[in-house]
């Protein structure tokens, strides 16, 4: 772990972590540092996140011991209806293209956080991102791997190929990548504020791009959007309290999975034992079945969150787990009536930001805003066209969202954490919590411990890292689990970050996942150097 009495910024790209630490050293708050780091990530991890994506955040105020939640996921344009989709001869929501785009909420989310918890001026948060967009940066290993699919992502977008495929091909490891169009957009944002994105020059570019492609985005869709402050939802796991954000995100699945896991004691044989892995895999299936059935925008559908998170309901669901056999088909119960970047920041006062931001698929919709150098997300792909689904597409509705920030606390210890990766996130959160609570790992070890995750084919199919012992995998396979064994540290398991505040000792801790190109960077101490020239 990184351990210091000052602030820490943990992100999936070292340049972003350093940029955030520099903001802290200038007297910036945790929110200031998070915005600055997130802006850099939009430059250095353009397939993962950026101004064209959505955002969720949890903020913990150390002085008042109060949590705040922010939902900055965008809504569907007024004209984006099931009838519009079917008129284009589609039977399901498109995964790419302009009809997969909802209003990007990230910039409005930055603005809402800054207005409430920022210390530095808005314009002072963006110089690092502008510098890297303008001057360029060397592409690191893991991001280079994600970039290899850019040609396919931009198959129908000449602007994307121009911006993200210099010399007609993805940049290789160590190659300097520049994005002067994005530098221009960041300057407009820094000078004119978030308003420029939704009503100014950037907004005009978004609307022009949409109209050229036959999209439905209107001026009012952008100008009238606002993020929503929400109360985090929670459950207890053993003697810790775990917090997630309410729907339309999938945080309730992480809490539901923990509730089911809590019905039995942790295996004394460790987190990668047969009994413990079997329990977690089966608990995940139960929680995800409920998630798929009930999750939606609560402004449009009644989501039974309280019932889904009740301990009694968890006990009933846990009865469906067979200790000796895998269950490949688990239905949703009847409760009583997300490619991504995650970062966490703690400032010298102990305030914590747990923030997640995403384009959804790599390079989002595959559409780059003309002249602005950033892609638009494809979050609309997660809507349903089934009129009986609570997640059915509707104007000004927010889709099912995969990205979830998290927070946990017990007595003097307070942890902001998150692990990105689409459907991986709730079960990755649950595994992280169990590593800390059941097995006493520190936050760095809890991030690095071998994980399993969902498989695209679902059912009894599971992806798992090769660090799990062969004899454990063999026994689990005999119980009916079907494994795809990945490399020892696989990006399929998501890329996590975590920070912790100990309010008694006033010491702060940070961890960064080995599955990413990032780091946990400490705030430089306030020292004065003498000029010996």
**Residues near 42 by Cβ (< 8 Å), separated by ≥ 6?**
49, 50, 51, 53, 129, 182, 374
Residue 356: CB atoms within 10 A of its CB come to 31
Residue 339: CB atoms within 10 A of its CB come to 23
Q: Pairing state of beta strands 413-419 and 406-410?
A: antiparallel
Give the span between the Cα atoms of 326 and 320, in whole angstroms.
Answer: 11
Give the span between the Cα atoms of 361 and 338, in whole angstroms.
Answer: 8
Cβ atoms 418, 354 nearer than 8 A: yes
Give the span between the Cα atoms of 32 and 243, in whole angstroms.
Answer: 22
Candidates 4, 44, 209, 340; catalytic one: 340
User: Known catalytic residue: 11?
Assistant: no
Cβ atoms 248, 398 nearer than 8 A: yes
Burial state string for 452-482 with b = 16 or more CB within 10 A and e = fewer than 16: bbbbeeeebebbbbebbeeebbebbeeeebe
Q: Pairing state of beta strands 176-177 and 519-522?
A: unpaired
Cβ atoms 135, 195 nearer than 8 A: no
φ/ψ of 350, rounded to 5, equals 95, 0
**Residues near 358 by Cβ (< 8 Å), separated by ≥ 6?**
48, 49, 53, 54, 55, 338, 339, 340, 341, 377, 402, 403, 420
Of 420, 422, 421, 451, nearest in space to 434 by CA: 451
Residue 303: CB atoms within 10 A of its CB come to 19
Give the span between the Cα atoms of 14 and 497, in whole angstroms.
Answer: 12
Cβ atoms 16, 517 nearer than 8 A: no
Give the span between the Cα atoms of 181 and 137, in whole angstroms.
Answer: 15
Taking each continuous run of H as one helix and of E as one strand, the counts in the chain are 19, 19
Active site residues: 340
């Amino acid at each position: 772990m990184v351990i210091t009495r000052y602030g820490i910024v943990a992100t999936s790209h070292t340049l972003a972590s350093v940029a955030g630490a520099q903001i802290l050293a200038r007297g910036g708050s945790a929110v200031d540092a998070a915005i600055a780091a997130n802006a850099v990530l939009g430059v250095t991890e353009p397939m993962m996140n950026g101004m064209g994506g959505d955002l969720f955040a949890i903020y913990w105020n150390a002085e008042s011991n109060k949590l705040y939640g922010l939902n900055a996921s965008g809504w569907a344009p007024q004209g984006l209806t099931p009838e519009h989709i079917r008129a284009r001869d589609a039977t399901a929501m498109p995964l790419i293209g302009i009809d997969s785009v909802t209003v990007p909420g990230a910039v409005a989310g930055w603005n809402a956080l800054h207005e409430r918890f920022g210390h530095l001026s808005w314009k002072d948060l963006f110089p690092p991102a502008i510098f890297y967009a303008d001057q360029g940066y060397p592409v690191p290993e893991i991001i280079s791997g994600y970039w290899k699919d850019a040609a396919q992502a931009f198959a129908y977008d000449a602007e994307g190929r121009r911006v993200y495929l210099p010399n007609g091909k993805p940049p290789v490891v160590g190659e300097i990548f520049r994005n002067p169009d994005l530098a221009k957009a960041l300057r407009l944002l820094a000078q004119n504020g978030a308003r420029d994105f939704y009503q100014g020059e950037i907004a005009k570019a978004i609307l022009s791009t949409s109209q050229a492609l036959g999209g439905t985005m209107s001026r009012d869709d952008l100008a009238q959007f606002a993020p929503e402050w929400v109360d985090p939802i929670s459950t207890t796991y053993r003697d810790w309290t775990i917090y997630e954000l309410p729907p339309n995100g999938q945080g309730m699945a992480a809490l539901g999975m923990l509730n089911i896991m809590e019905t039995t004691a942790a295996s004394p044989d460790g987190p990668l034992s047969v009994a413990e892995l079997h329990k977690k895999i089966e608990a995940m299936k139960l929680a995800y079945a409920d998630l798929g059935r009930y999750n939606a925008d609560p402004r449009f559908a009644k989501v039974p969150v309280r019932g889904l998170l009740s301990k009694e309901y968890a006990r009933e669901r846990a009865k469906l787990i067979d200790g000796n056999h895998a269950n490949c088909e688990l239905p949703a119960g009847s409760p009583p009536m997300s490619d991504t970047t995650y970062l966490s920041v703690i400032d010298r006062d102990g305030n914590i930001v747990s923030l997640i931001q995403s384009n959804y698929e790599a390079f989002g919709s595959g559409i780059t805003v003309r002249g602005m150098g950033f892609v638009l997300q494809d979050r609309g792909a997660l809507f349903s066209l089934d009129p009986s689904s609570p997640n059915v597409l509707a104007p000004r509705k927010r889709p099912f969202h995969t990205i979830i920030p998290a927070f946990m606390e017990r007595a003097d210890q307070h942890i902001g954490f998150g692990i990105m990766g689409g459907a991986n996130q709730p079960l990755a959160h649950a595994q992280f919590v169990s590593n800390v609570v059941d097995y006493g790992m520190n936050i760095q070890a809890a991030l690095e411990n071998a994980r399993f995750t969902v498989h695209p084919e679902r059912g009894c199919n599971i992806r798992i890292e090769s660090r799990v012992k062969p004899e454990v995998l063999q026994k689990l396979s005999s119980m009916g689990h079907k494994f795809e064994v990945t490399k020892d540290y696989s990006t399929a398991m998501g890329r996590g970050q975590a920070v912790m505040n100990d309010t008694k000792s006033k010491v702060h801790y940070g961890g960064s996942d080995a599955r990413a190109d990032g780091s946990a960077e400490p705030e430089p101490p306030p020292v004065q150097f003498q000029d010996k020239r």
